[in-house]
Amino acid sequence: MTGAARLTVGRAVGLVRAGGAERLDGRGLNASWRVTHAGTPYAVKVHCEERSSPAESRRILRVDRALRTTPWYPPVLDLGWAPGPRPRLVVVRPFAPGAPSDDARRHIGAVVGVLAELVARGRGVAVDEELIGDYASPWLADARAERALAGRLLTGEWRALGRAVDAHLAELIAAARRLTREEAVSVHHGDLHGRNLISDGGRALTVIDWDETGFSRRPADAGKALWLSCRLARGDFALDRRAVVRFLGGLHERLGVPYASACDLARLGALWFLPRHGHVTLLGRGGADAADTVTWYLGWVLRFWTRFRRNLEVVAGAAADLAAGRGAP
């Protein structure tokens, strides 16, 4: 396929607006489309207004430069702006054929491989400070301000969620600080879970949804993936001990992550499940179903926190067994 035959941002935006594109499912803030051009399907991501900025564009392109030669990464084919009162960032990539996974436990080995490659691709890369950040960054920068903003949401039926935040926030932040390495930067995907792992039915796997990509000074992807790759079922948060053993064993083997750091890794990942006022506000602007989406999201994270202590015990037990040479991954 020649460069001239590829789908451009301008053509993609025109097809989306004319109804010539297929809207893809998802609860995210950005809109995903499948657009067919010259017989070839493409993935088109239209970012929401609030997350469309020159810095976001630079972040995506810098990660693209770092990852282009990896087999599981769909490279940027075109990047530009959809015109309007507030222009939106648009990214065109190859469309990944296959199906997403509802059970990421089947792909733990592949996920660990992706995590290892993200770390390797970040070594020695010069990155501007504005491109570095992850879900833990706002809490580490000013936890008191973030908690105060979230307090506006955690009233009425969500008071229990507010109590969970207050019960755990200090230990989560302490763990994130312990895992932060100012001198070590890795590429950050931001949302490694089963629905973003596209399998072609064979061994090939494509990692999609690079909306939140950038760079991080801590193992943020690994912390979040621990929760999202090792649960018994999608939408639930009961960890599968055998999956946790495989995950921690793989991280130890591929990245040298000490088993003693396993609970800190879980606490780091748990920061992603703290409700942030800014995120919920954006969800609330999502159209006719916005109120239902916000209710779903708050209920979802509340289920996470009701099982947090029990799950942390699962992680601690799996790590202890691995450290003692029991329960090989």
| Helix 220-229 vs helix 241-255: crossing angle, to nearest 10 | 150
pLDDT the model gives residue 160: 93
Q: What is the pLDDT of residue 115?
A: 96
Which pLDDT does position 152 carry in this prediction?
84
pLDDT (0 to 100) of residue 1: 40
Confidence at residue 288, expressed as pLDDT on a 0 to 100 scale: 56
- pLDDT for res 3: 47
- In this predicted structure, the answer to whether residue 329 has a pLDDT above a threshold of 60 is no
The pLDDT value recorded for residue 199 is 86
pLDDT at 286 (0 to 100)? 60
Report the pLDDT value the prediction gives residue 296, as an integer from 0 to 100.
83
Q: For the residues 224-239, what does the mean pLDDT come to?
A: 89
pLDDT digits (tens, 9 = 90+) for 54-85: 999 999 999 999 999 999 999 999 999 998 88
Buried b (16+ CB within 10 A) or exposed e, 130-142: ebebbbbbbbbee
Where do the structural domains in the chain lie, given as residue ranges? 3-94, 99-323
Mean pLDDT of the chain: 90
Q: Which fold has domain 99-323?
A: Aminoglycoside 3'-phosphotransferase; Chain: A, domain 2 (3.90.1200)
Output 158 or 287, whichever has higher pLDDT.
158
pLDDT at position 28, please? 67
Length of the chain: 329
Q: How confident is the model at residue 144 (pLDDT cuts 50, 70, 90)?
A: very high
pLDDT digits over 112-127, tens only? Answer: 999 999 999 998 888 8
Lookup: tokens for 179: 């895992």
Can you give the pTM of this predicted structure? 0.92
pLDDT digits (tens, 9 = 90+) for 148-189: 988 888 889 999 999 999 999 999 999 999 999 988 899 999
Does domain 3-94 fall into CATH 3.40.50.300? no
More confident residue, 4 or 183: 183
108: pLDDT strictly greater than 90: yes
- Asked whether 46 and 78 are in contact (CB, 8 A), the reply is no
Give the start-end residues of each E strand in the chain: 22-23, 31-37, 40-46, 78-82, 88-94, 99-100, 186-188, 197-199, 205-207, 214-216
Distance between CA atoms of residues 262 and 78, nearest Å: 39
Q: Cβ neighbours of residue 198 under 8 Å, at least 6 residues apart?
A: 96, 97, 98, 99, 100, 205, 206, 207, 208
